[in-house]
Amino acid sequence: MDLNHFPTFRVAASDLNGQMRGKRVPRSYAQKLDEGVVRMPLSVLNVDLWGADIEDSPLVFESGDADGVLLPTDRGAVPMPWLEVPSALVPMAMFTDKGAPFQGDPRHALQGVVDRFDALGLTVIAATEMEFTLIDDSAMAPHAATNPVTGRAIANAAILSVRQLDSFDAYFSELYEACDEMGIPADTVISESGLGQFEVNLTHQTAMRAADDAWLFKTLVRGLARQHGFAATFMAKPYPDDAGNGMHLHFSIVDKDGRNIFDDGGPGGTDALRHAVAGCLAAMPDSSLILAPHGNSYERLVPGAHAPVSAVWAYENRTAAIRIPGGSPAARRVEHRVAGGDINPYLMLAAVLGAALVGLEDKMEPPAPITGNAYEITGVPRLAQSWAEAIDRFESSPLMARIFDPALVANLVMTKRQELARFAETPPDRHWLSYLEAV
């Protein structure tokens, strides 16, 4: 799109929590973004949930809080339909003054994994299922959003209810139109099992495109909700006794000839499929911090709550952490069902796809697929059971060190320990205000 149509526009990159950090710039910048005209402290991409510097971070006082250079990604400028005054956003990535990718940038973490697949002549094709909840946040506690038709708060869950969708028709019609404008491939939308909970599927794209789509989609969903008089949140668990929000990832891998390497012509899939599954299972406990990055995330990860807690896999079984969907063998794929809606899409795809790559490289073999209810199975590896445990496991994991740069590991661990300490000092009934639109 032509940035010269706007008096100003935005440039932004993703921080470790997936929040947009950037600037509003005049249209005179439009022709020189590739020249590194936009500079920003490197530390800004590694701040905590509230935007505070990380204590003792080497990116702050130790290095003089040095600037990096923001350069546009290949996504290009997109409109910002959630604003009243038309404008545009240019997704950016952070580089050092020497032109090297800044390793604290989550997008570069995913790019590193994508590059490793490219070196093997492989391309990941991915799709996401994005769950979120519409909320009335006008009081001291979150409440169900008001039904625009009845004028009353949503009172009941309405899974796959067309009537519930029709009640919010104005919002979802505008959301579809905005997705089309932004190049986000929104597919089906359903009313989910939670109070005011919905799910929008984004169709299969290359891995980086899928992550960009998810990152932009979260901002769009929240921004449009405000225009309609309610809030939208991707919190993993908006209400203690209700369904949580997840983000399921579907992926397949194609070779240079476009052949799905998971397809053996039958229902079982290839050795490559099993190797990828094994890698994902092996990495799952140590990557809990990526899949469940906040204290609220662990309220969702409880047995029997439609959120996997054990590292097991199965064919056509939604209680398992890894599900191999049925259907045409040509579309054979892995569905990774663990992540909450509160994740950073770049880090989440990097963790899952990086784990699958390790499985392929090492020709890892998974245990036998389970049958029946995964929540009743004992003696299998579990995800971290607390935020603190997840931080410790991520920090010391040899497997995570094969996927993420050491600097990103160190910065994420420092960030999460600082957030853990601050939440410990905050009354629990106020935690939701920090998470509501930040994750």
CATH number at residue 90: 3.10.20.70
Same domain, residue pair 259 and 371: yes
Does any domain span residue 242? yes
Residue 425 forms part of a structural domain: yes
Query: 310-355 pLDDT, tens per residue?
Result: 999 999 999 999 999 999 999 999 999 999 999 999 999 999 999 9
Which of residues 53, 70, 102 is at a domain's end?
102
Which of the two residues, 157 and 173, has the higher pLDDT score? 173
In angstroms and rounded to an integer, the radius of gyration of the C-alpha atoms of the chain is 21
In a domain, 109, yes or no: no
Whether residues 165 and 289 share a domain: the answer is yes
Total Cβ atoms within 10 A of residue 282: 19
| Shared domain check, 149 and 220 | yes
For residue 260, the domain's CATH number is 3.30.590.10
In a domain, 395, yes or no: yes
- Summarised one tens digit per residue, pLDDT across range 264-314 is 999 999 999 999 999 999 999 999 999 999 999 999 998 877 789 999 999
In a domain, 406, yes or no: yes
User: Could you tell me if 293 and 346 are in contact, meaning their C-beta atoms sit under 8 angstroms apart?
Assistant: no
**Cα-flanking dihedrals φ and ψ of residue 287, to 5°?**
-95, 15
166 and 94 part of one domain = no
Please check whether residue 276 is in contact with residue 360, taking contact to mean a CB–CB distance below 8 angstroms: yes
Q: What is the pLDDT of residue 210?
A: 98
**Pair 26, 132 in one domain:** no
* Domain contains 50: yes
For the whole model, what pTM was predicted?
Answer: 0.97
Examine the domain organization and report whether 97 and 120 are in the same domain: no
Judge whether 107 lies within some domain: no
- Assigned domain for 108 exists: no
pLDDT of residue 61: 82
**Domain-ending residue, one of 52, 71, 102:** 102
| 84: containing domain | 3-102
Please give the DSSP secondary-structure letter assigned to residue 424.
H
Evaluate whether 55 touches 79 at the Cβ level (below 8 Å).
no
Residue 358 has pLDDT above 80, yes or no: yes
For residue 281, give both structure tokens: 């299972």
Q: What's the mean pLDDT in 198-211?
A: 98
Cβ atoms 300, 237 nearer than 8 A: yes
* Separation of alpha carbons 228 and 148, rounded Å: 9
The count of structural domains within the chain is: 2
